[in-house]
Structure 1
Amino acid sequence: MEQEKTTILYRLQVGEVVTTIPTIGLHVETVTYKNLKFHVRDLGGQASIRPYWRCYYLNTDAVIYVVDSCDRDRTGISKSELVAMLEEEELRKAILVVFANKQAMEPAMEQAMEQAVTPSEMANSLGLPALKDCKWQIFKTSATKGTGLDEAMQRLVETLKSRQ
């Protein structure tokens, strides 16, 4: 999972898959998408790092939350971390975009792993429909293939521009 976020970041930045290692701490990059510049903070997901996430919430317009659609065991942790994050005052007005990742895997990998949870199942598992004050969207994505990333980013850009 750790590499998925960074793989997505580089896919958006340079348009190709870049070999990555898990993010330890913070990785900051600038991504320009459709003439809109994003300052992206790729935060490591290890349990020991999560308490420090809040240090980077100030001036955040959008949160892109990447969830492994094939890892049903971590859905509960993903939900509790997401709920805690969205309770922070600095993120009250941030748009939430969830990437339900690993949706288009190679057939051999798909057989070896559980079937991916659909985006609507993932939304329900994360409790997204119950979010009252948060504008959210969920997208079916694949970090390695790039599937769904353009659609998700296009919708995010449109939503951010409509707020201006």
Structure 2
Amino acid sequence: MGLLSIIRKIKHKEKEMRILMVGLDNSGKTTIVLKINGEDTSVISPTLGFNIKTINYRKYILNIWDVGGQKTIRSYWRNYFEQTDGLVWVVDSSDLRRLDDCKHELDNLLKEERLSGASLLIFANKQDIEGALSPEEIAKVLNLDAMDKTRHWRIVGCSAYSGEGLLEGFDWQTTVVKNVKLKASEVIEPVFLLLR
């Protein structure tokens, strides 16, 4: 493989992003994936295992791994961590009784070494439901201010049902992942030039 082929392959990888979408069951992960892809969301059943959806979003190719959130499946989440560029954590903002469980699972996830370089987008979903906590309230419950300062993160209020907030979240995620990949390629390309 020639140098130009290697550089082209790197440039293509900059446009392709692996996004891992997780959260507790019934938080709206699958609905978000379908909505952002313009698909029908009227009939959705719980994800048992995982779904992979490849979406052309803006000028990027997003490979979204939508992993089920049932308690019995959570121990398998670690099987999907490799090469994750962006992590999307979905919270049901209207399910107040499970917020402690939500915080516990997110804390465990963020301890994973293989996810240390992944940016974190938190969707505070179901903002259209009366009594839902605001993104600021969710951030406080999840203690996001105490998160490692080296991790890129953002919380966005959304409604998977209406689509509100989804573009804002994915725009942020793709921008951050793109910038991280650009910085990485700035280090790699000079090494290839030295090898010539």
TM-score (normalised: structure 1):
0.90
Aligned to 2:188: none
Q: String of CA shifts for 1:111-145, please: whole Å, max 9, x gaps.
A: xxxx1111011011112110013211000100000
Correspondence list, 1:91-102, <5 A: 91-102=115-126
Correspondence list, 1:55-66, <5 A: 55-66=79-90
**What SS is found at the alignment partner of 1:147?**
coil
Aligned to 2:97: 73
Contact 1:11 1:18 in 2 (8 A): no
* CA pair 60-18 structure 1, distance change in 2 beyond 3 A: farther
- Unmatched runs of 5 consecutive residues or more in structure 2: 1-24, 183-196
Q: Aligned residues: percent identity? A: 37
Aligned to 2:12: none
Q: In the alignment, does 2:163 pair up with 1:139?
A: no
Aligned to 2:48: 24
TM-score (normalised: structure 2):
0.76
Q: In the alignment, does 2:156 pair up with 1:156?
A: no
Q: Distance in 1 between matches of 2:107 and 2:29?
A: 19
- Unmatched runs of 5 consecutive residues or more in structure 1: none
Q: Distance in 1 between matches of 2:137 and 2:27?
A: 23
Aligned to 1:122: 138
Q: String of CA shifts for 1:36-65, please: whole Å, max 9, x gaps.
A: 111111111011100000000000011111
Q: Distance in 2 between matches of 1:101 and 1:16?
A: 18
* Structure label with greater radius of gyration: 2
The CA deviation at 1:14 is 2.3
**What SS is found at the alignment partner of 1:32?**
strand
Q: Distance in 1 between matches of 2:33 and 2:42?
A: 10
Moved more, 74-83 or 9-18: 9-18
| Letter matched to residue 95 of structure 2 | D
The CA deviation at 1:3 is 6.4
The CA deviation at 1:18 is 4.4
Q: CA RMSD in A?
A: 1.3
**What SS is found at the alignment partner of 2:43?**
coil
Alignment length, in residue pairs? 156
| Letter matched to residue 82 of structure 2 | L
Aligned to 2:189: none
Correspondence list, 1:43-62, <5 A: 43-62=67-86
| Letter matched to residue 137 of structure 1 | R
